[in-house]
Structure 1
Amino acid sequence: MSVEQMNLTGIKGVIFDLDGTLVESSLNFTQMRADVGCPQNEDILTFVDALSCAETKANAHRAILQHELDDAQNAKWLEIGKAMVEKVQAHNLPMAIVTRNCRQATAIKVANNGIPIDYVLTREDAPAKPDPTALLMVANTWQLQPEDCLYVGDFIYDQQAAENAGMKWLLV
């Protein structure tokens, strides 16, 4: 994927995923799942939300948060991510980030890399992707139709969230 393949024709707003799209991520999901007792083939956030014991759930959330904060300190711009943001800036389009990350880790990644996007929704703001709620919240805030927005991500959840929201999508 090259930045030239990012077609902004007819697009009025661009929403980016964060990890693996704008910044590198070294999150070890195998280790994270092992730390919280989540089967390797299950979504970790869904698994933790379904835990019935409040103490176990709190401990799992703390373990995930620690992994995310450790990762956030080292996350650097991806060249393709920076190039895409610059292209969207050149077109004077609004930008947002929608991520499954927590707010604290997201803020560190955005600040450390000087990412010029102020509108950021994390898993504390809306249900995690592939649920389309966060994407639809952004379109609504921008007063745009979903089909006029482009969602850029790197994972099947990103494609599913965009499709669920009725948005155009691009996998990087």
Structure 2
Amino acid sequence: MSITINNAFDFSQIKGVIFDLDGTLADSNPNFAGLRAELGIAPETDILAYIESITDPVLAQHTQKVVTRYELESSHNAQWISGAKQLMTFFKQQQLPQAILTRNMPQAAKITLENLGINVGVDIDPLLTRFDAKAKPDPQGVELICQQWRIKTAEILFIGDYLFDIQTANNAGSLSVLYSPSLVPEYAASANIVCGCYLSLVEHFKQQLTQITE
């Protein structure tokens, strides 16, 4: 599978692009299974929701230290996901503003971006972490970015690799691309486009633009 169109849209109407970070732009291989095992929580537990639910200050401090360690270890190993750099370049050529909305902590996100050579304020602006807006799937991050860009949420294309990303886009009333290079999850049907190869996505958008000019 290269791309699957669930709900077609006109790319020429897109005014800005928001990316998730880990698993979308960066191949950082976060060990979520190991993290959940060390925290003693179920495999599908939302880690951030678990952290917020802790009332014991000692346990909360310990949990935060464990999560921070895992996040930093992951970010130091970050590399580009195949085709992601070319996708960002294409959007830049179309003069579309680009931003990142991540559930990461700021320090980990910045290390990841440094590894990729992505400059905040130049290549992307803004970078919003879970410290800057309510964590996905809450749409607050998208809304804040749209306020900065002075565009409507319906004019945003949100690209991510997980359920929370698609839920965030839907909650904000934005369009979405699910990056899923291997197994396609059940929730993929909720995305406008399911993409297994970023280069194929670029070609799809180029074809749309070519048809407009013909």
Q: Give yes or no for TM over 0.5.
A: yes
Larger radius of gyration: 2
- State the match for 2:50 in structure 1: 47
Distance 2:104 2:36 in 1: 15
Q: CA deviation at 1:19?
A: 0.6
**Contact 1:2/1:80 (<8 A) preserved:** no
Distance 2:89 2:42 in 1: 39
Counterpart among 141, 147, 171 of residue 148 in structure 2: 141
**Contact 1:98/1:122 (<8 A) preserved:** yes
Distance 1:118 1:62 in 2: 29
What residue ranges of structure 1 are gaps of 5+ in the alignment?
A: none
Distance 2:131 2:37 in 1: 23
- State the match for 2:129 in structure 1: 122
SS at 2:100 equivalent: strand
CA RMSD between the two structures: 1.7
Distance 1:163 1:95 in 2: 19
Deviates further, 152-161 or 40-49: 40-49
- State the match for 2:14 in structure 1: 11
The one-letter code matched in structure 1 to 2:106 is R
**Contact 1:14/1:151 (<8 A) preserved:** yes
Normalising by structure 1, report the TM-score: 0.93
- Please list the CA deviations of residues 57-88 of structure 1 after superposition, one character each: whole Å capped at 9, or x if unmatched: 11111111110101111100112211210111
Q: CA deviation at 1:118?
A: 3.7
Runs of 4+ in 1 over 4 A off after TM superposition: none
The reply to whether residue 165 of structure 1 matches residue 172 of structure 2 is: yes
The reply to whether residue 153 of structure 1 matches residue 156 of structure 2 is: no
Deviates further, 9-18 or 28-37: 28-37
**Contact 2:101/2:129 (<8 A) preserved:** yes
Quote the sequence identity (%).
38
- Please list the CA deviations of residues 123-151 of structure 1 after superposition, one character each: whole Å capped at 9, or x if unmatched: 11111111111111101111111001110
- Please list the CA deviations of residues 23-56 of structure 1 after superposition, one character each: whole Å capped at 9, or x if unmatched: 1021111111122222222101101110110121
Normalising by structure 2, report the TM-score: 0.76
Distance 2:50 2:41 in 1: 6
What residue ranges of structure 2 are gaps of 5+ in the alignment?
A: 180-214
Q: How many residues align?
A: 171
CA gap 1:124/1:77 in 2 versus in 1, 3 angstroms: same
